[in-house]
Amino acid sequence: MKIVGVAACTVGIAHTYIAQEKLENAGQVAGYEVHIETQGTIGIENELTQEQINEADVVILAVDVKIAGMERFERKKVIKVPTEVAIKSPNKLIAKAVELSSK
């Protein structure tokens, strides 16, 4: 299974990168390919390619603010949560993504 997503917090520093790391690690431990783009004070990093988005089964948006490029995910299954959820419960969030992808 392939998961892509975006992490973005209100300040665009700490929680953005912690959420990215937690989601990528939880996904890898579960055996999935996970790519998380970050949007913060220094702009977009690890920008998702259109190919990654097209191949993704689910999109996880761990965001506390409006993000750039939402239109990229229009036809995808999307889970949107605050960054805090991705940080505190990344394994549950990955499990929810797996459940959504099978519907």
Residue of 3, 4, 6, 9 marked catalytic:
9
| 9 carries an active-site annotation | yes
> What is the pLDDT at residue 100?
94
Containing structural domain, residue 41: 2-101
Give the domain CATH number at 78.
3.40.50.2300
Mean pLDDT of 75-100: 97
Residues 11-38 pLDDT 10s: 878 999 999 999 999 999 999 999 999 9
Residues 33-49 pLDDT 10s: 999 999 988 899 999 99
CB 7 within 8 A of CB 38: yes
Would you tell me how many other CB atoms lie within 10 Å of the CB of residue 80? 15
Q: Could you tell me the pTM of the whole model?
A: 0.96
| Total structural domains within the chain | 1
CB 44 within 8 A of CB 14: no
pLDDT exceeds cutoff 90 at 103 = no
